[in-house]
Structure 1
Amino acid sequence: MSRRLPSLSSLRAFEAAARLGSAKRAAEELSVTPAAISHQVRQLEDELGLALFVRRPRQLLITPPGAELQ
């Protein structure tokens, strides 16, 4: 049974969002929109079957599985 690896863009978006705690700041760093960061992180969460962040207004709080991935 083979498993696909997550896309590099979704991992890059996750790493920046986890480190910065904000989709907006991650987007600025990666020169994309905050919506693109959110989409990539949700895609990664769907692929892994894990919630990586708790989403709050203007803030992303990393979950224990997210911290482990980071």
Structure 2
Amino acid sequence: MREPKVGYDTVLLLLGQLIKFLFIGIFVCTVLVVLAGIFGAGEEALLIYQLIWGFFWRICIALIAFISVFVLYESL
């Protein structure tokens, strides 16, 4: 029996969906932090935003590395 192969299109579709949700998440976080700053909780909101922003960039860099490795593997 042949093992089912995950196609290139499927992987790119999943990566695209993940990246879309990451950007939507960081946008929502930005809006919430701005609203918290307006309503007087600016320092706490900025601390939370810095924490989430660092996590966001780590995930994005890992995704870029994964895409690079995957494309290189497919080209061999």
| Greater fraction of residues in helix | 2
| Greater fraction of residues in strand | 1
Q: Whose radius of gyration is greater, 1 or 2?
A: 2
Using CA pairs below 8 Å that are at least 6 residues apart, which structure has the higher relative contact order? 1
Q: Which TM-score tier does this pair reach, normalised by the shorter chain?
A: 0.3 to 0.5
TM-score between the two structures when normalised by the length of structure 1:
0.35
TM-score between the two structures when normalised by the length of structure 2:
0.33
